[in-house]
Amino acid sequence: MQQALSSLQHRLVPAEEIFFAWLIRVFAAATLVGSAWIDDAPPLEIAAMIIAMYVAVRVATQFGNLAAAAPVESRPLRIIFAVGAIVLLGLAFLVVATLVERLALSVAG
């Protein structure tokens, strides 16, 4: 049991590195978007959306890397793992953007 657990942890390291590297970028983009939503400056919103779209496209291009780094051998499970990681990154974006917007509105309001 201990051997299987350490083997799984060892195989999970590459996927964690990819996921957490992109998580920081997603947080930064979400903070920019959340901040832009509270200001009524269209150029700021446009710039924040361009950055968010760039990060979204780059995260989507990591699908193959996430699938290859999955700690399982089965192809369907690798695909499920990669889709799950991308969905988690998308949800993290929404949570951070909403949090920043609501915090700013509560301070400003």
CB under 8 Å to 18, separation ≥6 — which residues? 62, 65, 66, 69, 85
Its pTM stands at 0.84
| Structure confidence at residue 82 (pLDDT) | 94
The string of pLDDT tens digits covering residues 49-60 is 899 899 999 999
Residue 3 has pLDDT above 80, yes or no: no
- Identify whether the C-beta of residue 64 lies closer than 8 Å to the C-beta of residue 48: no
